[in-house]
Amino acid sequence: MRIRTGMLAAATAATLVLAGCSSGSDSPEPAGSTSSTAGGESMAQECQPVPGDTFMVLDDDKMLQNSDNLIPAVNADAASDEVLGALDAVSAVLTTDDLIQLNKAVDIDRQTSAEAAAAYVADNGIAAPATGSGSIVVGAANFSENITVAEIYAAVLADAGFDTEVRTIGNRETYLPALQSGEIQVVPEYAATVTEYLNRDQNGAEAAAVASGDIDATVAALEPLATAAGLVFGEASAAQDQNAFAVTTAFSDEYGVTSLSELAETCGTISLGGPPECPERPFCQIGLEEQYGIEVAQFESLDPGGPLTKTAIQQGQVMVGLVFSSDGALG
């Protein structure tokens, strides 16, 4: 593996110089060609990045990433059937594609979280199955996606007859104690991350991980931890906010690749863009290599799912980039 911090242009120029000095028998095969063994057996293609404006998130079909599905967390004393029923009505509808569009509405189209939430609830006809009464404070982490989901929870709880307020609290170290104490009653959470947070809190910093890419197994591991923490969790939604790997839609169309397994089968090597620590992280380059058998020939040090990585994918600077699965720019 070769870690790069610059652009691909210099490497491309060097390759052309070397190719010009080679004999005919040693010349590299054309881009996109299929290599063969001496016996004629077909091997993976030498894929090249394909520039394009839109993204295709490759399916993580071997569940490399932990299952960070959105899931409602509720203070145990407030976890009535009416409250849980309203929150579960949201989980039954919310998908990753929905989350992308909600994030696009707020982060790109500049709607408020309350506006995007109200439109989402109305458009999807989300209604609580039973009515209740009393006051519910829905807490939120201090980033737009979580605030928007908190607004969705509050809207459906209000429909169920509760007086609701959305309060942005801060990070998990701040809002979980507030949830446990009853200062707030509900907060949108992410299944795998909160599972490991509670696991380490209760069993020590070196506790073996219990979350996985299987959402059912992760929720099963979460339940006893939640009980010990004085919390109840509703149903997990299909919506996920977690690491993902994206190519351009044009690349996906050209090579017929829609999953990480197909990428491994189709392309001999890849160029990868992501945060500087990616080559040493099990959910980034190491995971691609060990879980999928993908060979990373070039790594471009960029940012964690930010504009540098997305631009590098679009411009064909890298073939694959680490993104966040619910990023509004993916819509």
Q: With a cut of 80, say whether residue 22 has pLDDT above it.
A: no
For residues 167-174, give the mean pLDDT.
Answer: 96
Q: With a cut of 60, say whether residue 41 has pLDDT above it.
A: no
The per-residue pLDDT for range 288-298, each reduced to its tens digit, is 999 999 999 99
Q: With a cut of 50, say whether residue 5 has pLDDT above it.
A: no
Minimal CA–CA distance to 269: which of 56, 45, 52? 45
For residues 109-124, give the mean pLDDT.
Answer: 98
Report residue 44's pLDDT band, with 50, 70 and 90 as the boundaries. confident
pTM: 0.86
Give the range among 21-35, 45-59, 106-120 with minimum mean pLDDT: 21-35
The per-residue pLDDT for range 66-85, each reduced to its tens digit, is 999 999 999 999 999 999 99
Q: With a cut of 60, say whether residue 15 has pLDDT above it.
A: no
Domains present along the chain, CATH in parentheses? 2-63+242-330 (3.40.190.120), 70-233 (3.10.105.10)
Of 44 and 148, which is predicted with more confidence? Answer: 148
The per-residue pLDDT for range 233-283, each reduced to its tens digit, is 999 999 999 999 999 999 999 999 999 999 999 998 999 999 999 999 999
Q: With a cut of 80, say whether residue 65 has pLDDT above it.
A: yes
Please, are residues 181 and 229 in contact by the beta-carbon 8 Å criterion? no
Of 137 and 24, which is predicted with more confidence? Answer: 137
For residues 166-177, give the mean pLDDT.
Answer: 97
- For tokens 């790109």, the residue is 108
Q: With a cut of 70, say whether residue 21 has pLDDT above it.
A: no
The per-residue pLDDT for range 178-218, each reduced to its tens digit, is 999 999 999 999 999 999 999 999 999 999 999 999 999 99
The mean predicted confidence, pLDDT, of the chain is 90
Report residue 304's pLDDT band, with 50, 70 and 90 as the boundaries. very high
For residue 45, the model assigns a pLDDT of 84
**What percent of the chain lies above the pLDDT cut of 90?**
86
Report residue 43's pLDDT band, with 50, 70 and 90 as the boundaries. low
| Residue 266 CA: distances (Å) to CA of 197, 211, 295, 300 | 38, 30, 12, 21
